[in-house]
Amino acid sequence: MSATKAVFVLIHGGWHNHSAWDSVTPILEASGFAAMTPDLPGAGVNAIAPASLDHRPFDPAAFAAERSPVVGVTQEERTQAVVALVKEAALLSDGKVILVGHSAGGMTISAVAEQVPDQLLAVVYLAGFMVPNGMPLLAMLQHETLSSALAPGLFVGDPIAIGATRIHAGSTDEAYRSLLKASFYGDVSESEFAHAAAQLHCDESNAGAIALSEITPERFGTVPRHYIRCTQDRAIPLTGQDHMIATVDTAIGNKTTTHTLESSHSPFLSQPAILSKVLIDIGIQSLAEQRAEAA
């Protein structure tokens, strides 16, 4: 793979995998960009489902109690996997890499930007957790500005006991399915929702939720950052998105460039062309800024 402009490294959110970007990557590539879409450790091809998920008849109590098989997956493991991918992308693109993180993937791109700021043209949060230094995702999720988030209603079992935040994307319960759609896919068609839900894995290791954000003005703060606000988001409500932007901007001492989509939590499914245009515009702007600095 080679890129004529830059490489987008696209990081999926919690319970999702690389397939979230399937409608976006062809549009980016048609515009001269390249895209890398990994499955994070513990996700996609790297996910391991609880054995009880496949027991028939299905036993909800056993599913809610079984210790997670991905309990050992750490945030550092995810961070280092993406650091390695960013370095690979930089070699392919003469150092032109734009790192994008959706939802909980925001924790990973923040950590990567702190570790290898010189490898990145920009970081982009898509309705992502952009969390200030010293705070874990869990604490941000519990902030009052995210109190209307629907996703916690999907959690199955005791996260402490099972070592993970578990959902049951394959549930046949109509109320649960409706809540899943409303949480992540409010403006997505029923057929697309069914396909997307079938791709989700059950467990997100608690390690990702409790790992502290470690971002500093001297490293993370040197990377131009963008935030794509999703106004109809019910997984990370707009009030929470705006709170994170304001909090990080104050702490880091410079501004996040914001963009706004009238979409749910998953515009890569509901509005892939519009989302792709925003990303392409960010890519073009980032390349122009790089050229201006080099002049």
CATH code (residue 289):
3.40.50.1820
Q: What is the SS3 assignment for 194?
A: helix
Domain enclosing residue 158, as ranges: 7-294
Positions of the chain with pLDDT under 50: 1-3
Is residue 142 situated within a structural domain?
yes
pLDDT at 291: 87
pLDDT at 34: 95
Per-chain mean pLDDT for the chain: 96
How far, CA to CA in Å, does 278 sit from each of 98, 129, 193, 257, 275? 13, 19, 23, 12, 5
Q: Does the N-terminal peptide bond of residue 26 adopt cis geometry, omega within 30 degrees of 0?
A: no
Is residue 221 situated within a structural domain?
yes
Q: Are 136 and 114 in contact (CB under 8 A)?
A: no
Cα–Cα distance between 99 and 102 in angstroms, integer? 10
Token pair recorded at residue 111? 């950590």
Q: How big is the CA angle at 85 (ends 79 and 89), to the nearest 5 degrees?
A: 140
Q: What's 158's DSSP letter?
A: -
Is residue 2 situated within a structural domain?
no
Whole-structure pTM value: 0.97
Is residue 215 situated within a structural domain?
yes
Is residue 151 situated within a structural domain?
yes
Cα–Cα distance between 203 and 15 in angstroms, integer? 7
pLDDT at 295: 76
pLDDT at 2: 46
Is residue 1 situated within a structural domain?
no
Number of domains the chain contains: 1
Which is nearest to 203 in space by CA: 63, 18, 61? 63
Give every CB contact of residue 202 below 8 A, 6+ residues apart in sequence: 15, 47, 49, 50, 53, 164, 166, 167, 168, 169
Residues in the chain: 295
Digit-coded pLDDT (tens) for 106-132: 999 999 999 999 999 999 999 999 999
pLDDT at 4: 61
Token pair recorded at residue 226? 């963008």
Is residue 127 situated within a structural domain?
yes
